[in-house]
């Protein structure tokens, strides 16, 4: 993906979607992707797409037999609960990104009309489990494991009845069940299915923006200390810590341009697709001061930029035979992840205004075969691990087939444990590319034919990914297309997203393939849930390039709630993706109108002959701690604000309570500094008073 800086104007001529509704995307917990069964499972009642194969089906059958459930009615229920792991939506049933569960979330409430399951019998399934199995002995009961997670330290193995484990049906269902009226998936005794007869919700009237900055950035990360601040980074290598204005306050982003938080411009290589690509704060940044940056360097300009070439013998690629690309030799440029830290033991991370450019640790370094398609985003997941998005390395059509080669890290999403450093032996044996360890649950950690760093494969050039704040299992990544299609994927463990066998939903045939080909039948690709055809947008560049965004979770615009927002880099076009039914993975994408508020703090310029604001290049999206969404463009920084400010109709907006829509920011650093100063003064005063009391007592004794 290119990141050019010339001034351009683009016009949207037509909106002709290839497919508004792409097929629903299953989410599994124990397999890299759902498999298509050639024959139905023999034990569990699943056919077609399933998260279990025949081997796992036999294992579940043996587990069930070991329980020795004597009552037939209870046995039928217990079997269905065990088999829920084979459901194609099991990731939602088990909430795999939080505390692992031994049983799925059981339906436990009266369902709303829009709930995925519509049967009243389903709504009482948890009660049915209790009523049917309450006095039945179940050896190695899965319900006992859930009891442990409620705070108990151990469970007597002789306890086999749920009435011996739980005091009442209410306690049992509070622990095992979950209200389904919020639209979340729950297990009702049968494979999850959805009622698709109703129409999806209507699209919002439009997206209202206010311009709060004139500068151009690639990345935005909120300061995790609870303040109204965020880090902004530009491609040239500078990172600023800025104060965000309250929505509707007529304020703008405030920072000292001459005093960046971190300046890496002297050590990185900046060009069209090179530079400072991404930043991230450690989940415990306020405690450990750990700050991370992803950037590119040129090994010909000095030491410290030397990593193993991504084109190597392991992937049947000889860098000496690769032609120069834009004047650069293979692996002249490197992708780097480095760690930095707030210096000084007496400085609290929330008080720091700058970071030393001296690296604390070089996490990762890899030489790039060509000068494009190297992604570069870093992102901490809800599991505390660092995810790294890497493109296929460049050249049209991925000629060396890096994306499908699991010995290559190109065209992959990687997952690192940066909380532990590897030993010298581990680095030697595992062939690590830097200073990190491999999470034990990475999908290929025990596969000698794959790199253990890989979390997902088959990507061309992922440009901006995010985890949904409300549903961490929804890991969304936009992937830039080649000739036809720009796509948005739900990333799952071990998932293969098809490139270069497929470009989105289309099969793809490369013009040249010195690195060999991958057959259509040899992979089980996961197709995109959203996207757009190149014919949808038109630009002087003659192409399209997607920019991924976020599920909108702010209260500022309630009519955007729960919709995924994404855009095209080159054309003035943004889309919202609506999922219906909820948690089905079935999305409808629609072009989104947008305009600039008349009272925008900074006046927005318009596309000639139109009232649409001229955003220029849409580089990235950002999100603050209040979940307000920002659009980072070549013309400045824009924030999504209340629809009424652009006279868009939104029946859910409470225009009489503006303050409730934009909570007051937490105390700023200056306030914190004042508080610290007050504490020091109080302590000094107490010491002084204590000394005075002792002096007076001595005087009385004289």
Instruction: Return the number of other C-beta atoms located less than 10 Å from residue 284's C-beta.
Output: 14
- Are 120 and 114 within 8 A, CB to CB? no
For the chain, the domains span 35-178, 207-654
What confidence score (pLDDT) does residue 221 get?
98
N-to-C CA span, the chain: 85
* pLDDT exceeds 80 at position 204: yes
Helix and strand totals (H; E) in the chain: 12, 32
> CA 125, CA 4: separation in Å to the nearest integer?
56
Rounded to the nearest 10 degrees, what angle do helices 125-133 and 169-176 cross at?
130
678 band by pLDDT with thresholds 50, 70 and 90: very low
* pLDDT value of residue 200: 72
* Residue 671 in this model has a pLDDT that exceeds 50: no
Q: What is the DSSP string of 106-133?
A: EE-SPPPTTSS---HHHHTHHHHHHHHH
C-alpha 288/C-alpha 266 separation (Å) is 26
Cβ(450)–Cβ(431) under 8 Å? Answer: no
Question: What pLDDT is attached to residue 180?
Answer: 53
Residue 448 contacts by C-beta under 8 Å, 6 or more apart in sequence? none
Q: Is the pLDDT of residue 110 over 60?
A: no
Question: Counting beta carbons within 10 angstroms of the beta carbon of residue 485, is it exposed (0 to 12), middle (13 to 18) or buried (19 or more)?
Answer: buried
- pLDDT value at position 13? 31
When pLDDT is cut at 50, 70 and 90, the band that residue 672 belongs to is very low
Contact between residue 109 and residue 180 where contact means Cβ atoms under 8 Å apart: yes
Q: What is the pLDDT of residue 196?
A: 62
In whole angstroms, give the CA distance from residue 690 to residue 696: 10
Residue 682 has pLDDT above 50, yes or no: no
pLDDT one-digit tens code per residue, 487-505:
999 999 999 999 999 999 9
Q: What is the pLDDT of residue 571?
A: 73
The answer to whether the pTM exceeds 0.75 is yes
- Output the pLDDT for position 679: 42
* pLDDT given for residue 150 in this prediction: 42
Q: What are phi and psi of 434, to 5 degrees?
A: 175, -155
Confidence of residue 423 (pLDDT cuts 50, 70, 90): confident
Using pLDDT thresholds of 50, 70 and 90, give the confidence band for residue 655.
low
pLDDT of residue 654: 80
Contact 60, 82 (CB under 8 A): yes
Q: Which CATH superfamily is domain 207-654 in?
A: TolB, C-terminal domain (2.120.10.30)
Q: Is the pLDDT of residue 237 over 70?
A: yes
Q: Which residue has the higher pLDDT, 273 or 158?
A: 273
Summarised one tens digit per residue, pLDDT across range 583-614 is 888 999 999 999 999 999 999 999 888 888 99
Per-residue pLDDT band for 349 (boundaries 50, 70, 90) equals confident
């Amino acid at each position: 993906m290119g990141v050019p800086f010339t001034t351009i104007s683009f016009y949207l001529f037509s909106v002709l979607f290839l497919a508004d509704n792409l097929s629903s995307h299953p989410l599994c917990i124990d397999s890299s992707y759902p498999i298509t069964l050639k024959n139905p499972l023999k034990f569990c009642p699943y056919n077609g797409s399933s998260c279990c194969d025949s081997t796992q089906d036999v294992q579940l059958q043996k587990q069930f037999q070991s329980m020795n459930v004597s009552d037939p009615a209870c046995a039928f229920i217990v079997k269905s609960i065990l088999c829920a792991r084979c459901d194609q939506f099991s990731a939602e049933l088990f909430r795999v990104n939080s505390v692992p569960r031994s049983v799925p979330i059981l339906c436990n409430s009266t369902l709303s009309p829009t709930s995925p399951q519509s049967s009243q019998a389903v709504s009482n399934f948890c009660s049915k489990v209790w009523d049917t199995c309450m006095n039945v002995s179940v050896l190695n009961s899965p319900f006992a494991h859930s009891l442990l997670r409620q705070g108990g330290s151990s469970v007597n193995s002789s306890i086999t009845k749920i009435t011996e484990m739980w005091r009442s049906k209410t306690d049992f269902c509070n622990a095992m069940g979950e209200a389904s009226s919020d639209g979340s998936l729950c297990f009702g005794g049968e494979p999850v299915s959805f009622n698709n007869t109703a129409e999806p919700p209507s699209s919002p009237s439009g997206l209202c923006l206010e311009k709060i900055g004139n500068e151009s950035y690639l990345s935005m990360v909120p300061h995790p200390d609870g303040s109204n601040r965020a880090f902004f980074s530009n491609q040239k290598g500078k990172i600023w810590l800025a104060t965000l204005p309250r929505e509707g306050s007529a304020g703008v982003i405030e920072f000292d341009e001459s005093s960046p938080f971190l300046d890496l411009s002297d050590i990185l290589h900046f060009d069209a697709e090179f530079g400072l690509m991404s930043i991230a704060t450690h989940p415990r940044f306020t405690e450990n001061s750990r700050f991370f940056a992803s950037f590119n360097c040129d090994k010909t300009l000095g030491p410290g930029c030397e990593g193993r070439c991504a084109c190597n013998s392991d992937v049947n690629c000889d860098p000496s035979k690769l032609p120069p690309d834009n004047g650069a030799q293979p692996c002249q440029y490197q992708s780097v992840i480095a760690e930095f830290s707030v210096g000084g033991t007496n400085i609290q991370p929330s008080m720091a205004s700058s970071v030393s450019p001296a690296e604390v640790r070089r996490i990762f370094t890899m030489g790039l075969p060509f000068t494009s398609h190297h992604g570069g985003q870093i992102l901490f997941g809800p599991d505390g691990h660092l995810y790294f998005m890497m493109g296929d390395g460049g050249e049209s059509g991925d000629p060396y087939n890096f994306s499908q080669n699991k010995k290559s890290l190109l065209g992959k999403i990687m997952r690192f444990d940066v909380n532990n450093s590897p030993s010298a032996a581990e680095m030697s044996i595992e062939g690590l590319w830097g200073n990190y360890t491999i999470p034990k649950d990475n999908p290929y950690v025990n596969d000698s034919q794959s790199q253990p760093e890989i979390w997902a494969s088959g990507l061309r050039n992922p440009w901006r990914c995010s985890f949904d704040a409300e549903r961490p299992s929804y890991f969304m990544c936009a992937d830039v297309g080649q000739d036809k299609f720009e796509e948005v994927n739900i990333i799952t463990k071990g998932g293969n997203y098809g490139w270069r066998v497929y470009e989105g939903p289309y099969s793809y045939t490369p013009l040249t393939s010195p690195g060999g080909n991958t057959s259509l039948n040899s992979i089980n690709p996961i197709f995109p849930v959203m996207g757009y055809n190149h014919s949808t947008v038109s630009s002087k560049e003659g192409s399209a390039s997607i920019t991924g965004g976020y599920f909108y979770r702010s209260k500022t615009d309630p009519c955007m709630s729960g919709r995924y927002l994404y855009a095209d880099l080159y054309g003035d076009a943004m889309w919202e993706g609506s999922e219906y039914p909820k948690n089905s993975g079935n999305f409808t994408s629609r072009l989104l109108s947008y305009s600039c508020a008349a009272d925008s703090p900074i006046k927005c310029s318009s596309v000639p002959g139109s009232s649409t604001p001229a955003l220029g290049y849409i580089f990235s999206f950002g999100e603050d701690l209040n979940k307000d969404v920002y659009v980072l463009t070549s013309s400045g920084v824009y924030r999504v604000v209340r629809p009424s400010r652009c006279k868009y109709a939104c029946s859910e907006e409470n225009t009489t309570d503006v303050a409730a829509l934009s909570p007051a920011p937490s105390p700023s650093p200056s306030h914190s500094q004042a508080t610290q100063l007050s504490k020091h003064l109080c302590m000094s005063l107490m010491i002084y008073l204590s000394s005075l009391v002792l002096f007076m007592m001595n005087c009385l004794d004289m």
